């Protein structure tokens, strides 16, 4: 559980609210629907050391309450160099934190509502990236854009049923498993291709994976990269990289 009066950090994403707090047994993270605090606790009374928002803030957040504008973080608060003013704050956070921890060029794949690829060079400068639809958006598009493919209930992150796509092997028979397999392998393949392209220019580039769907992508990506190039520890799985960046930039007591 979280220590009474402990500092919290919040990233408002496109689909969920991502929380971190100082727990009695160490660093804790949670993920909740919009408008809900840590482990379902009400927003009122939470002590936010820092927070950031990818998109609009729901009305129920109450900016006069816990979401104090003075503790909100934007691009100007993130020491990532050469950022364009339109860069998403989530991409800036994960790009900066991965570079800070690596001390080398990084390519960060953030597998959330969107799959974003963000490059940072050895000097800590943003040097571009790629964007594509995340798993839930891809599955929704398949259901809405075709006459026979089913809708798979995925709102934020891959549902447990989607894991059957991996258990079904490379070439599933059932339609839902085939959809899930196609989406997962497609995303893993896109990241692996980007990594191979970056390594031609920067062989010392570290590949970082984060985001809600990263846990399902990590073994696929590790297999693709390891089989083709010799991974040698260059793939880092950090599920809460953006929250770690918030806490590093706005530390609370005891951190």
Alpha helix segments (H runs only) across the chain: 89-102, 135-145, 164-167, 175-201, 214-229, 241-249
Please give the structure tokens belonging to residue 7: 């500092």
* Residue 130 three-state SS: strand
Give yes or no for a contact between 85 and 75, defined as CB atoms under 8 angstroms apart.
yes
Cα dist from 127 to 108, 123, 149, 219, 245, whole Å: 12, 10, 38, 27, 19
Residues 6+ positions from 35 with CB-CB distance below 8 Å: 17, 43, 58, 60, 61
Place of tokens 């408002």: 12
Active site residue 90: yes
d(CA 81, CA 106): 14
Please calculate the CA angle 3-101-190 and round it to the nearest 5 degrees: 105
Q: Which of 59, 90, 123, 204 is catalytic?
A: 90
Positions marked catalytic: 90
């Amino acid at each position: 559980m979280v220590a009474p009066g402990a500092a919290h950090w919040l990233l408002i994403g496109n689909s969920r609210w991502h929380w971190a707090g100082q727990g009695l047994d160490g660093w804790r993270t949670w993920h909740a629907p919009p408008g809900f605090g840590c482990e379902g606790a009400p927003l009122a009374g939470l002590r936010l050391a820092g927070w950031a928002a990818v998109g609009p803030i729901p009305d129920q957040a109450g900016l006069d309450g816990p979401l104090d504008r003075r503790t909100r973080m934007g691009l100007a608060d993130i020491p990532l160099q050469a950022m364009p003013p339109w860069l998403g704050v989530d991409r800036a956070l994960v790009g900066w934190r991965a570079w800070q921890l690596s001390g080398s060029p990084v390519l960060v794949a953030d597998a959330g509502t969107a799959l974003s690829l963000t490059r940072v060079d050895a000097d800590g400068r943003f040097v571009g990236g790629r964007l594509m639809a995340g798993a839930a958006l891809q599955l929704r598009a398949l259901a809405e854009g075709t006459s026979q493919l089913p809708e798979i209930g995925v709102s934020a992150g891959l549902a447990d049923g989607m894991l059957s796509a991996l258990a079904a092997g490379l070439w599933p028979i059932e339609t839902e498993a085939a959809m899930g397999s196609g989406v997962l392998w497609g995303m893993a393949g896109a990241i692996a291709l980007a990594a191979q392209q970056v390594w031609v220019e920067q062989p010392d580039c570290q590949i970082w994976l984060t985001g809600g769907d990263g846990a399902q992508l990590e073994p696929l990506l590790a297999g693709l990269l390891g089989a083709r190039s010799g991974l040698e520890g260059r793939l880092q799985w950090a599920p809460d990289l953006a929250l770690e960046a918030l806490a590093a930039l706005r530390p609370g007591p005891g951190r």
